[in-house]
Amino acid sequence: MKLFEYQAKEAFAAAGIPVPKSRLVTDPAQARAAADELGGHCVVKAQVLTGGRGKAGLIKLAGSAAEAEALSASLLGETRQIITRLLIEEAVDFKREVYLSITVDAVAGKALIMASADGGVDIEHLAATAPEKIARVLVDLDQGLQAFQIKNVVFALGLAGGETGKQAAAVVKNLYAVFRKHDAELAEINPLFVTADGSVVAGDGKLIIDDNSLSRQAGYELTREHFDSDTEFEAAQDGIPYLQFDGDISLMCAGAGLTTTVFDLINYEGGSVANYLEFGGPNYRRAKRAMELCLKNDCKVLLVVTFGTIARADVMAEGVVEAMNELKPRVPIITCIRGTNEEEATATLRKAGLEPMFDTEEAVRKAVALCAGGKS
């Protein structure tokens, strides 16, 4: 779960990482008052989860409280995406920007600190074009962050020595504490500002909490803003993996890898996907809810493909038939349900008047053909 900048900075501040003074506001009048408090000269930052906010015009510099109010009104009136909160932040007079992040290294089985003296840039771009400018320090979680590692990171940031060096070392140590305490997948400060008087302060803040650890990270909840569509949000609240597209074929499949493969096959055949929905694993008894979500789309065909072991074919076939009877979908349903107890599944589907298929690629071709037929 990706946190908003203001949430990340709250976590940073609580761990002792210096952040600029700021106020979180929800309307232009509040923005004006906040800007006044901060001395007028401030930055108005839309709290959205998409990257590249600067380029997208979602971060604006204001020279006065009146300007902050006007900029806030225009950002809150954005129609391209939902903006409900703004962070009004004091403008920091910086002389340098550096990069610091902590993530996971799957190969080493350790935390990975990445540091670069070149901050404020897209780190993935830097990694692709000038990898030698990024220092990588691996930290064993059971040993914890060692003094020599902090020192190496501070050297890589180009901030060693004096008061700045001390402050940078504290930021590294405290960011690691945030990473551990919040079960982070990523904790990133980009840019980390160095001000004219040599202090360091976090210009931006990114914190992604591992989804598998959310139950022990109190205080954060998924909101509509975490999703690209209403149905994705609704499905997520039900714990059903769902992605919205705008094509013809609604996927109601089981198994993450298999559903992804069916998605590919449809594209290979020249078809288009209305939505990706996966009702395997813990959801295999929830065919009705899955079908309800699928039918929110203006799709032409519903395609059900499964090949499960624990997600039993007979249970899923019964679920599909029950859902059909209750929801009475007007679009044709193609099924390719195999796996544990598939003979019973086949009988159930035939009894309900369906013509079960057994080959995924044939089922995909049939679905694509049905859509094409519907168009002519």
Partner 1 sequence: MSVYITRENKVLIQGMTGQEGSYWTRHMRDLGTNVVFGVTPGKEGQDVDGVPVFHSIVNGIKAFEADTAMLFVPPKFTKDAVFEALDAGIKKIVTVAEGVPLQEMLQIRKAALSCGAMVLGGNTSGVISAGEAMLGMFPYWIDRVYKPGTIGVMTRSGSLTNEVTAEVVKAGFGLSTLIGVGGDQVPFTRFVEVLPLYQADPGTKAVVMVGELGGSMEEEVAEAIAAGFFTKPLVAFIGGRTAPEGKRMGHAGAIAGGGRGTAKGKVELLEKAGAGVAKRPSEVGPLLRQALGT
Residues belonging to the active site? 99, 188
DSSP H/E element including 374: helix 360-375
Count of residues touching partner 1 (by CB under 8 A):
54
Q: Is 108 in the site for partner 1 (CB under 8 A)?
A: yes
Count of all residues that appear for the chain in the document? 376
The β-bridge relationship of strands 59-62 and 249-251 is unpaired
Q: Which stretch binds partner 1 (CB under 8 A): 69-77, 123-131, 149-157, 164-172?
A: 123-131
How far is 190 from 118, CA to CA, in rounded Å?
10
Q: Residue 225, interface with partner 1 (CB under 8 A)?
A: no
Residue closer to partner 1, measured from CB, 85 or 224: 224
Closest of 283, 112, 100 to residue 203, by C-alpha: 100
Phi, psi values for residue 348, rounded to 5°: -60, -45
What DSSP line would sit under 12-38, residue for residue? HHHTT-----EEEESSHHHHHHHHHHT
* Residue of the chain from 32, 339, 366, 368 that contacts partner 1 (CB under 8 A): 339
Which residue lies nearer to partner 1 by CB, 193 or 227?
227
Contact 65, 88 (CB under 8 A): no
Closest contact distance (angstroms) between CB of 255 and partner 1 is 3
- Lay out the site mask for partner 1 across 143-182 (x = CB under 8 A, - = otherwise): -------------------------------------x--
Task: For residue 218, state whether it binds partner 1 (rule: CB under 8 A).
Answer: no
Q: Which is nearer to partner 1, 69 or 342 (CB)?
A: 342
Q: What is the CB neighbour count within 10 angstroms for residue 17?
A: 27
- Distance from CA of residue 137 to its chain's centroid? 25
Q: Which of 26, 174, 199, 340 forms a contact with partner 1 (CB under 8 A)?
A: 340
Residues 228-287 that bind partner 1 (CB under 8 A): 241, 243, 254-261, 263-265, 267-268, 276, 278, 280-281
